Amino acid sequence: MRFSFQHPEHISPVEGIRGDSSGPSWKPIEPLGLQCAGYLALLRRADASASCMLPSRNDQEEEALMSRVILPIFLILSSAYVYSQQPITTFRYEVVSIHEGQVARDGSLTVNGGVEGVHNGRLELTNWGLQGFLSRAFHLQYDHIEGVPDSLRHAIYVIHAQPGEETNAALKSMTDDEAAKAKLAMMQEILRDRFHLRYHVETREAPSFLLVTGKQPKLRRSTAKPLVDGDERRYNPDDLTQPAIRETCSAHGCALAARGQTIERLAEMIGGQLPGPVVDRTNLSGLWDFELQWSSSYDTSTGQDYLPVEAALAEQLGLKLERGKSPQEFLVVEHVEAPTPN
């Protein structure tokens, strides 16, 4: 399989909000990170650019890979949101095209997805599964999406959507936070309109990892200059003078370089390497610069220099992971159908 990803901002829906035609409303919170974990658990979101490559595997192997990054990946992160009760102006895509995806003759699958910056509303997803699209649109972990019927679990789709001129102009005039929340609501409208999605969100206590400080944290306060609201996030992989994250992963491990990032975002990034989410309990506020290298699995017999993620955090950043529980959101699908034809 080959994957290429781009995209959004982490979102955490709160209990009791239901999927209906009125659409959700949002408020900004501290930015969280994004990761590319397997077949689209990725999108815990941030305006990002990533590419991943994986040979064709059976279903069990693919499921196992969804929980951690073991692929070449390249990305940049941006703002985050949570649901609120205040209404916002609803924007819609003017043109939406949805078709079945295609697997190559050699059994490989190319997956692409993205938008062009936080203020551009165009959406292009190639060979995305429904669960991956739900994960992206609601910015929840892949395995926190429940109830997708077996008949749709392995279907893949090509989704292209383009907003009208007025919506695009409005997006360009918004702040980063406003534009991002509008685009997320637009993606959810596609799911309600074309997939006839009905859902509810449940908050449950579930096992997690707690990120805490060790005896001597090894982090640097950031001097990166934040982008001004409204700036396009054009990512230069060699420029880390502005808030950004660059991550490169292989089958042996990952190397992360971050500038101007919160510890919450770090927790988000490493969460895909572990059998559960990572919750920031460090009480380290503000923005930080850091580098981290870790192994992509618990197998230390690869001969590589990378350490397992827990050991890497302790040695390189002076942080620790402890097991615990935390409130987590789960999207429960009540009804969903194959998309209506164009």
- pLDDT tens string 138-192: 888 888 999 999 999 889 999 999 999 999 889 888 877 788 788 889 999 999 9
Report which DSSP code applies to 143.
G
Average pLDDT over residues 313-338: 94
Shared domain for 250 and 271, answered yes or no, is yes
Using alpha carbons only, give the angle 332, 141, 316 rounded to the nearest 5 degrees. Answer: 160
pLDDT value of position 139: 80
Q: Is the pLDDT of residue 296 over 80?
A: no
Ranges 16-25, 175-184, 259-268, 328-337: which has the least confidence = 16-25
CA distance 327 to 329: 7
Q: Are residues 162 and 36 in the same domain?
A: yes
Residues in the chain: 342
User: What separation, in Å, do the N-terminal and C-terminal C-alpha atoms of the chain show?
Assistant: 28
23 and 161 in a common domain:
yes
**Do 34 and 173 fall within a single domain?**
yes
- The answer to whether residues 60 and 173 belong to one domain is yes
The pLDDT tens digits of the residues spanning 46-103 come to 333 333 333 334 444 444 343 333 333 323 333 333 333 333 457 889 999 999 998 7
Instruction: Say if residue 311 is in the same domain as residue 169.
Output: no
CA dist., res. 62 & res. 143, Å (int) = 13
Q: DSSP for 275-312?
A: TS-EEE-S---S-EEEEEEEESSS--TT--SPPPHHHH
Q: What range defines the domain where residue 190 resides?
A: 2-195
- Residues 331, 215: contact at Cβ < 8 Å? no
Residues 6+ apart with CB under 8 A from 206: 276, 277, 325, 326, 328
Q: Are residues 280 and 304 in the same domain?
A: yes
**Number of folded domains in the chain?**
2
The last residue of a domain, from among 195, 215, 231: 195
Residue that finishes a domain, picked among 195, 221, 240: 195
How does residue 247 score in pLDDT terms, banded at 50, 70 and 90? confident
Q: Sign of the C-alpha dihedral, residues 186, 71, 149, 16?
A: negative
**From CA 110, how far away is CA 80, in angstroms rounded?**
28
Which letter does DSSP use for residue 132 in this model? Answer: H
In a domain, 296, yes or no: yes
Tens of pLDDT, residue by residue over 110-126, are 666 554 566 778 888 88
Residues 238 and 106 in one domain: no
Amino acid at the residue 45:
R
Q: Is the pLDDT of residue 316 over 90?
A: yes
174 alpha carbon, distance to own chain's centre: 22
Nearest-CA neighbor of 158 among 111, 108, 118?
111
Pair (29, 148) in one structural domain = yes
Both structure tokens of 235: 């990512």
> How many CA atoms lie within 13 Å of 206's alpha carbon, on the beta-carbon side?
15
Q: Would 341 be classed as within a structural domain?
A: no
